[in-house]
Chains A and B, each alone.
Chain A
Amino acid sequence: MTAPHVTPEQVWSALAAVPDPEIPVVSVTDMGMVRDVAVDGGRVTVTFTPTFSGCPALHVIRESIGEAVRALGVPDVEVRSTLTPPWTTDWIQPDARERLRQYGIAPPAPAGDTPLITLDPEPTRCPRCGSLNVRMTASFGPTLCKRLYVCESCKEPFEGFKSV
């Protein structure tokens, strides 16, 4: 039996097609969750960073990553997770931010690296009309990563990605 030959690039492009289970317009690589791909002969190790620690989609993401790599003909796949450095919304790719916006989700504001303990939420722009005249209606949306807003300019409700 010959060892399957895959390159890290092939693995990366396979992972680029694995959607985020809760936001299907972006993939796990768009989200910056995949930190490392290592190919050692017939063995592939993918390291990813969980987004929110209580995210119920984590096991789905882990399984989807494993399946995508196995679909390349790799039988021996290890999917590991790491918390270092912690995932931040700053890792979401620029084109994915635009896709989020078109999907109706305001992309996250820059998070920076100091998690200040503050009582004030960050400014958010309406994904539809671009107005900053928005009102937060709920700081927790249908998923852990989003908040709910209403735009005071175009009157549309929308979801906004938390800046983490």
Chain B
Amino acid sequence: MTGNGQPSALSSQQETLTPELRAVLIRKLTALADDEIILAHRDGEWTGHAPILEEDIALANIAQDELGHASLYLDLRGRLDGSDPDRLAFFRDAGEFTNVRLVELPKGDWAFTMLRQFLFDAYEALWLDAARGSTYAPLAEVAAKAVREERFHLQHAALWVERLALGTEESRRRTQNALDELWPHVAQLFAPVPGEAELVAAGIVPDLGEVCTRWEGFVVPHLTGKCGLLLPMTLADAAEGRDVHTEHLAPLLAEMQGVARQHANAEVW
């Protein structure tokens, strides 16, 4: 991932951020990017293994977009603290990643993959839609850009969830299993990072509660009404923060970062 541009004339706005807001914004941008990087890796694991060639290509495309979004967020972070997106992606350990646990779970079967993608894409599309109104212009720009791409991911995943849920008994069983397994993890998508309320108060990022309400209004009718799936009764749990991971993240990073770490001085990987 290489940065793709110079800042537009916005440095004056960055100077108006208080040091506290700046620190929280850096944390938030990193969390947003980490979700995308890890999900992109999981999607990339299907390359060469998807059920049909078209889906192989589709998921590779989606992974590429998600990495593109991570790159946009990390470029924004770089403008604030001079950090290097490649160092952040390839040279941090599991304990330093701040992705939600939803995205690091192993790729599972196709139903699991598509359902996770649907739950995440709906969240991402609606968050970006709201973030277009950010008072922090560089973020508003990024959101306006990325939301146009995210719509296609969401359409794709929604269609697959429908197809699998209403397909055969086997595909329905697998889709319901995926929902049961994934549902407890979605609450974390709507859990703010420490200090995020300050960013919301300043109009810099959308209120996650409002995004969640829209998300439920969008996702629940699709899953239950259209697809006839049963929402699990499990209480959604976001109690542990983004610094707590499952045992699945470290092996993922070992694979993702292997080449970069072995050839740390290479210009491109």
B interface footprint on A26-63 (CB within 8 Å = 1, 0 otherwise) = 00000000000000000000000010111110110000
Give the distance to chain B from A86, nearest Cβ to Cβ, in Å: 4
With A50-B4, A86-B144, A117-B218: A139-B57 Cβ-Cβ less than 8 Å: no
With A117-B125, A164-B149: A138-B57 Cβ-Cβ less than 8 Å: yes
Give B62's nearest chain A residue, CB to CB.
A140
Is the beta-carbon distance between A54 and B58 smaller than 8 angstroms? no
> Which residues of B lie under 8 Å from residue A142 when comparing CB positions?
57
Is the beta-carbon distance between A117 and B4 smaller than 8 angstroms? no
In chain B, positions 124-148 with a C-beta closer than 8 Å to chain A are: 125-126, 129, 137, 141-142, 144-148
Give B68's nearest chain A residue, CB to CB.
A54
Is the beta-carbon distance between A137 and B54 smaller than 8 angstroms? yes
Q: Does A81 contact B (CB under 8 A)?
A: yes
Is the beta-carbon distance between B71 and A139 smaller than 8 angstroms? no
Give A52's nearest chain B residue, CB to CB.
B149
Q: Does B158 contact A (CB under 8 A)?
A: yes
> Which residues of A lie under 8 Å from residue B126 when comparing CB positions?
117
> Which residues of A lie under 8 Å from residue B246 when comparing CB positions?
none
> Which residues of B lie under 8 Å from residue A141 when comparing CB positions?
57, 61
Give the distance to chain B from A68, nearest Cβ to Cβ, in Å: 19
Residue among A56, A82, A142 with the highest chain B CB neighbour number at 10 A: A82
Give the distance to chain B from A35, nearest Cβ to Cβ, in Å: 11
- In Å, the complex CA distance between A132 and B222 comes to 28
In chain B, positions 50-71 with a C-beta closer than 8 Å to chain A are: 54-55, 57-59, 61-62, 64-69, 71
> Which residues of A lie under 8 Å from residue B67 when comparing CB positions?
54
Chief secondary structure at chain A's binding surface: loop
B interface footprint on A58-96 (CB within 8 Å = 1, 0 otherwise) = 110000000000000000000011111111100000000
Give the distance to chain A from B218, nearest Cβ to Cβ, in Å: 7
With A83-B5, A162-B152: A119-B57 Cβ-Cβ less than 8 Å: no
In chain B, positions 1-55 with a C-beta closer than 8 Å to chain A are: 2, 4-6, 8, 54-55
Q: Does B165 contact A (CB under 8 A)?
A: no
With A58-B4, A140-B62: A53-B145 Cβ-Cβ less than 8 Å: yes
Q: Does A118 contact B (CB under 8 A)?
A: yes
- In Å, the complex CA distance between A59 and B6 comes to 14
Interface size on A, residues (CB 8 A): 35
> Which residues of A lie under 8 Å from residue B5 when comparing CB positions?
50, 80-83
Q: Does B174 contact A (CB under 8 A)?
A: no
Partner of B144 from the list A50, A59, A83, A137 (CB cut-off 8 Å) is A83
Is the beta-carbon distance between A86 and B141 smaller than 8 angstroms? yes
Give B121's nearest chain A residue, CB to CB.
A117
Give the distance to chain B from A34, nearest Cβ to Cβ, in Å: 14
Give B158's nearest chain A residue, CB to CB.
A119
> Which residues of A lie under 8 Å from residue B152 when comparing CB positions?
139-140, 162
Q: Does A16 contact B (CB under 8 A)?
A: no
- In Å, the complex CA distance between A89 and B58 comes to 20
> Which residues of B lie under 8 Å from residue A115 when comparing CB positions?
129, 144, 147-148, 151
> Which residues of B lie under 8 Å from residue A50 when comparing CB positions?
4-5
Q: Does B154 contact A (CB under 8 A)?
A: yes
Q: Does A14 contact B (CB under 8 A)?
A: no
B residues with a Cβ closer than 8 A to A are: 2, 4-6, 8, 54-55, 57-59, 61-62, 64-69, 71-72, 125-126, 129, 137, 141-142, 144-149, 151-152, 154-156, 158-159, 218, 222
Apart from A121-B155, A144-B65, list 6 A-B contacts with CB within 8 A: A54-B65, A81-B5, A115-B151, A116-B151, A118-B155, A119-B158
Q: List 8 A-B contacts (CB under 8 A).
A: A53-B146, A54-B64, A83-B141, A116-B151, A119-B158, A138-B55, A140-B156, A144-B65
- A-B pairs, top 10 by smallest CB distance, nearest first, are A54-B68, A53-B68, A81-B5, A140-B58, A138-B54, A140-B61, A54-B64, A86-B145, A83-B141, A54-B65
